[in-house]
Structures are given as structure tokens and as C-alpha cells.
Chain A
């Protein structure tokens, strides 16, 4: 029995290890694990196009969010526009250094690397060409970065901070903040259109890893 199993025609549930015979999801269908109901594969028409489009949009939005005014301060007689770059470089020494590192990593560096790696993986696939060298590594890297990209949490943090300083100064939000909000919206859409198993299957048709 065991010897007759052909691994290439099976898939295993990543959450409970149950084997299923592999087949492609049809229009709009979601194939779920028979035991734990985890989605094994979902049919996402144009998954590559859409994921690529949202990754490219994200690169632009993150770079924009860095250099456009993020926050406008109106204190006693003075008026100031601050970008994220200003804010990050305004920090002094001491404990602020590790804090800057955490913030910069979670809201700028990791989302940017992730979007870049996705673009690198998906660009040739979109035209039906062979994947670039190390495409599998890039795509694996992009997937592992996902939980560490925290722009949506940062946005809530900005709102809480504004509530806290409400009495002390007139603070309003600039275009860079709304770019981050747009980026989160794009990520939500991307999540919906994304099926990593489908993309792995397309990547796997080429043997160069």
C-alpha cells in the first residue's frame, strides 16, 4: 500500500499532516483539509497579476510614506512638518536606539523587503517566463516576513499617540500617514488574492531552485 503512493500526486495539510490527492481548485473554489478545515488551495484567478500589482504598489507607497510629511505640528507659534525619516533620525541615544530599530524594521524595512522579494519572484512568471535565479528563496523569504510586517498596528499606534497628545499641541496627519493606510488596504486585498500553494506549484514547474 505505502509503496504504491506517488508523492507528486498528493498534498499534505500543513496544519495536521493529513494526505489528500492533489488537484487544482476550480473557479472561486477553496479546497479545505478534510480533518481540520485548513484551506489547502484556493482558486484565485490572476493571483500572480494581482499579487504583483499590490507588491509594486506597496513599494511605491512605502517610499512615499518615508519622504512625504507624516505629521504636522502646530505648537506655540511654530509650525512644523515632519516626515518619517525626520522622526526616525530625531532620536537621541540611550534606549531610543533599539526602539528606532524595532519601529524602522517593522514598518519600513521588512514590508519593503517583502514587497521587493514578491516582485522579484512574480515578475517573470507574469509573462510566462522562467523564474529568476533564487526565485524560490526569495518567495520563501517573502512568506516568512509576513508576520513581521506591522504597518496596520503602527497606524493604530499613531491614532493612540494623537489622543495622548491631544491637549498639548495641535497635531494633524499628513499624506504619508494616508499612504501607510493605503498600503494596509492593499495588503488586505493582496491577502485575499493570494494563494501561496498555487504560486509554489507554478514556481515548482521549473526545476532550477
Chain B
């Protein structure tokens, strides 16, 4: 598809904002002004309002919830007076001890590697936008898309806990209860997903052309 004729000495054409238009990211409609999209009813904004601040706020909430998620137990098992508490890392180590290496890797990546990587990537994207770091915008957009796609997968361990609790509730002599970590981890995943959704990817391209933003 041909982009509009170059109006400046640049490789690409005009952005909607430069043309005085507001693009609806929900349905693609363009408008000159207005608060609500005339086609789909979504709130209209050239760039998400306070995108950076909102992203940082959700990110901070996600990191805060991630701390108790790692310190407190995910799962509390009581068998005949004995109580066993498993943290996220404890659960992974237990899987390794049972020899279930593949499952241990799946859980370890989903519960530790992905959340930490997500914090780092979102932080990096925000910093690169604010400071206008000359990083390749294509690479940054890619990072953003991967982060948005992969973050949900961290939820695996929360589901595992829920299923174990339900299974045991139905039958066994033992009693299993979710620990504080199960809830705070779920919240951490939800908050980080909201952080990624609050970040307006269009800012990545703006910062290249306009220099540091003071947002």
C-alpha cells in the first residue's frame, strides 16, 4: 500500500497527528476532532492520555505484588498434622527433584522468567520513550508486541494451584490451601498486563522524531 506522498524529507509519509487527525485505535476511523469515535464509540485520543504515567503506575503495582508472590507460599499442604509450604521457586525445585524437568522449565519460565522480563522490557520501553534513546523503533515495537502476547502465560501457576486445591478438596485425606502468593501473583500478572495495554505504541515512533518528551 502506498503511503501518502512525502511532505517532508523523510522516508515515510504523514502521521494522523501531523495531518491534524485523530485515529481510532479500536476501529481505524479517522476524525478531525471529537472525544468519542463516531463509528465505534471508543474514547478518541491522538495518543492515550497520560500513557506513560499510567503504564508506570500499573508496572509499579505489578512489581509490588510480585514481591509477596515470591516470599509467601503458593500452596499450603496439610497431611496428618504435618504442614508443608511451597513457594513459587519451591514448587519448581520440587518438580526438578521428581525428575519432571520439562514441566519444571515450563513453570519456571512462566512464573519467574516471563514476569521479570516483562518488568524490564516495559521499564526499558518507557525510558526509551521519555529519553528518546536512539533505539531501533522496529525492534522496540517487536519487544512491545511480544510482551503483550506473552504476559498472560504467567498465569499458569495460579491455575495449577487452583486445580490442585479443587482436586484435593474433592477427594484426598490431605488438605491443600492456596497461600497468599497465589493471589498476589495473579494480581501481579493482571497489573502488568494492564501496564502493557496502557502503553501507547505510537509514542515509540514519536520520540524518534520529536526528541525527549516531558511526560
Contacts and interface: CB of A to CB of B under 8 A. Distances in A.
Interface of A: 1-2, 5, 7-8, 10-12, 14-21, 23, 31-32, 34-38, 40, 71, 73, 75, 78, 80, 82, 86-88, 90-92, 94-96, 98-100, 102-103, 106, 136-137, 139-140, 143, 147-148, 150, 153-154, 156-161, 163-165, 167-169, 171, 196-197, 200-201, 203-204, 209
B120 interface: no
Contacts of B141: 15-16, 36, 38
B26 interface: yes
B146 interface: no
B215 interface: no
B23 A14 contact: yes
B113 interface: no
Contacts of A92: 169
A99 B186 contact: yes
28 contacts: A1-B7, A5-B19, A7-B29, A14-B23, A14-B201, A15-B201, A17-B17, A18-B3, A18-B15, A18-B205, A20-B1, A20-B3, A34-B1, A35-B12, A82-B170, A94-B177, A96-B178, A99-B178, A103-B158, A103-B162, A136-B39, A140-B26, A156-B159, A157-B156, A158-B159, A163-B100, A200-B29, A209-B41
Contacts of A158: 159, 163
Contact of B161 (A94, A99, A196): A99
B32 interface: yes
B156 A203 contact: no
Given A5-B21, A200-B29, 15 more contacts: A16-B202, A17-B23, A18-B13, A20-B1, A40-B1, A73-B167, A75-B171, A140-B26, A157-B158, A161-B159, A163-B95, A163-B100, A197-B28, A200-B27, A209-B39
A102 B183 CA distance: 9
A95 B27 contact: no
